[in-house]
Structures are given as C-alpha cells and as structure tokens.
A = this chain, B = another copy of it.
Amino acid sequence: MPGLIEHTERYLPIRLFLSGELEAVNEILRRQLASDLPAVNELCRHVARYQGKMLRPTLTLLCGLAARPGSAGQVPEANHSLRVLAAVSEIIHMATLVHDDVLDESRLRRNAPTVNHLRGNEMAVLLGDYLISNAFHLCSTLDRPEINRRIGETTNELCSGELLQIHHRDDWSIDEPTYFAIIERKTASLISLCCRLGAEEAGADPAVADALAAYGSRMGVAFQIQDDLLDLIGEERVVGKSLGRDLEKGKLTLPMIHFFSCAGPTQRMEMLATLADTDAEAWPSRVRSLLLSSGAVTSAHDVAAGLVGEARRELSPLTESPARHLLDDLACAVITRAS
C-alpha cells in the first residue's frame, strides 16, 4: 500500500484490501479526469505523480472500515460510494497542490517539476480549476445532495483558510490562534470531513462519526505542523519539493512563531538579520540552526505530538479492529515522516 503506513507489516489482510481499494480509487480518479483533449490528459498524468501519501483517500476508506457497527474481524466489502468519496477528496487535494505551487512559485513537487514550472502559471491556474470542477462533478454522480453540500462547505472553509493565510503574509506578529485558525481551515477541515464521510458511509453511530471527525481534525493540524517543520528544516532531496518557500513568501508558521516567543534577544536579532538577506545562499541553514538551537523546533514538534495523542484518544469509542489499529498507526506516522 502506498502512503504513510507502508512501513508497517501488521494486519496484512486489511492492508492488502486497502491497497486494492486505493487502486480502485485511482481508477475512478483517472476515468473522471480523462478528457478528449490530449494536452489535458498529459497534464493530469503529470499531476497524478504528486499522489504520494494518498492520506485523504486512505482515511476515508479506513474510517469506513473502522466505523462499521459490529464489523470487527469481518472481511470488508467494496463500497462504490466510499471509493468515489475517496477519489473526490484526492482530486480536491490535487487541485490545492497545483494552485499552491503557483502561489509559492515552487519548482519541485515529489521530485518532479511543478505544473507552473513546466507549463507556466496560466496552465497551472486552469488545470487547478479543471480539477476542482471535476471533483464537484464526480461528487454529484453519487446523487446524494447532502454530500455535495458538505463538500462545498468544506472547500469554502479550505479556501477561506488560504485567503486568511495570504492576508497575514509578511505579518511578523502573527499569533498562535491565527496560525491554528488558518491550518484548521486550509488542511484539517478536509481531512476531518474525509473521516466523517467514511464513517457515515459505513453507517456509523453519530457518536463514532463525530469521534472520527475529531480524530481527523486533530491529526490534520498535526500533519500541517509537520509539513511546516519540514519546509523549514527538511532535506529537499528527501521531502521531494521546494523548501523554504513559507519564509520566502512571508508565511510565518508555528516553529517561527515559537522562535520569536522563546528566543533570546541575540538569537532574535540574528534571525531578523538572516531573514533580511534571503539572497545569501546560506540563509536556510542559518535559519535551521537558529530554530534548532532555540528549542523552537522541539516545541512545535511537541504541539504536533500532543495533537496526535488527542487524535488517538478520539479512537476509543471504536470497536477493536485492524482498521482502528491502522488509524492509530497513521496518526503516529504523520509526525514521524521525513517527507
């Protein structure tokens, strides 16, 4: 199975089942995006290379498995709606990656050139629009208006998070509540919805669906904190995408917010001098060493670890099952990943 829980060897039958389901999800996604225009197909094939972790589809499917009432130990059945929902979440995510790369002027994603770098910003803006439109269209084929409505609510939330983030660009006094408001909207809202829809699709009790939505929300925030950490202190070769973009684009994330609240005056002045000269080749490594020595990296990581703990505790109302264990593993993997 591709993705974050690839490394575990436990629960092989369920992992094999999930692996097959993710293949089926990808088939739905490919069919949905197929166009009569070869140029569009070529771009969609390129964007499919960005699909690494498939976190959102995996969560939709796993929550669908874990939340089935009284299903522990049973061999799961294929569920078309669940697969479609998983594909919809992945297409929405792909659209955000394509547009984010335009905004961040990124050149690299999953060790491949970004669409904007390869074909220009115009093509990337339009391809993102094409993906968003196809996500909504695919969702509407389920003939379940309430699902369309909730996906629409969540993408509204997601877009407003991105807008809030850009509104605070170059805001050097951004505080933690604002940072969390941004990432809860732009990242956690969709991840949480994936968990909830997966659970509801499986006929879960409302309390279980709520618990899984809360699990997704906490782990989504932790996931974004780890992303923000990797942007500052990751290895570009390992992460596979352009790094240091947040600072270059004036986006202050949790490690930086912690730095400015916990660093001494000398460190602070050194950081400001470093950031004032991002043309210098060595600036990323100087930022990294300042973040590490100040304790800001550790404290941001601790916040993420605390959220992962909360996410795992949300799983307690679920019956013991391999799927529940995988959800637990997944929450842990979110903050130990190096890419």
Contact = CB atoms under 8 A, between A and B. Distances in A.
Contacts of A155: 133, 136-137
Contact of A129 (B35, B39, B144, B162): B162
Interface string A135-166: 01111111111101101110110111011101
Interface in A9-52: 35-37, 39-40, 43
Interface stretch (A77-85, A120-128, A270-278, A309-317): A120-128
A229 interface: no
A238 interface: no
Given A121-B121, A130-B156, A130-B160, A167 B39 contact: yes
Contacts of A133: 132, 152, 155-156, 158-159
A44 to B, nearest CB: 10
A99 interface: yes
A102 interface: yes
A134 interface: yes
Copies in the complex: 2
A262 interface: no
A103 interface: yes
Contacts of A35: 160
Given A102-B125, A133-B132, A159-B130, A149 B153 contact: no
Contact of A166 (B122, B158, B167): B122
Contacts of A43: 163
Interface string A78-106: 00000000000000000100010011000
Contact of A123 (B36, B132, B153, B166): B166
B129 A140 contact: no
5 contacts: A99-B126, A102-B122, A102-B125, A137-B155, A144-B145
Given A125-B128, A134-B152, A137-B153, 13 more contacts: A39-B163, A102-B121, A102-B122, A103-B126, A122-B166, A129-B159, A130-B159, A133-B158, A136-B136, A136-B148, A140-B148, A140-B151, A144-B145
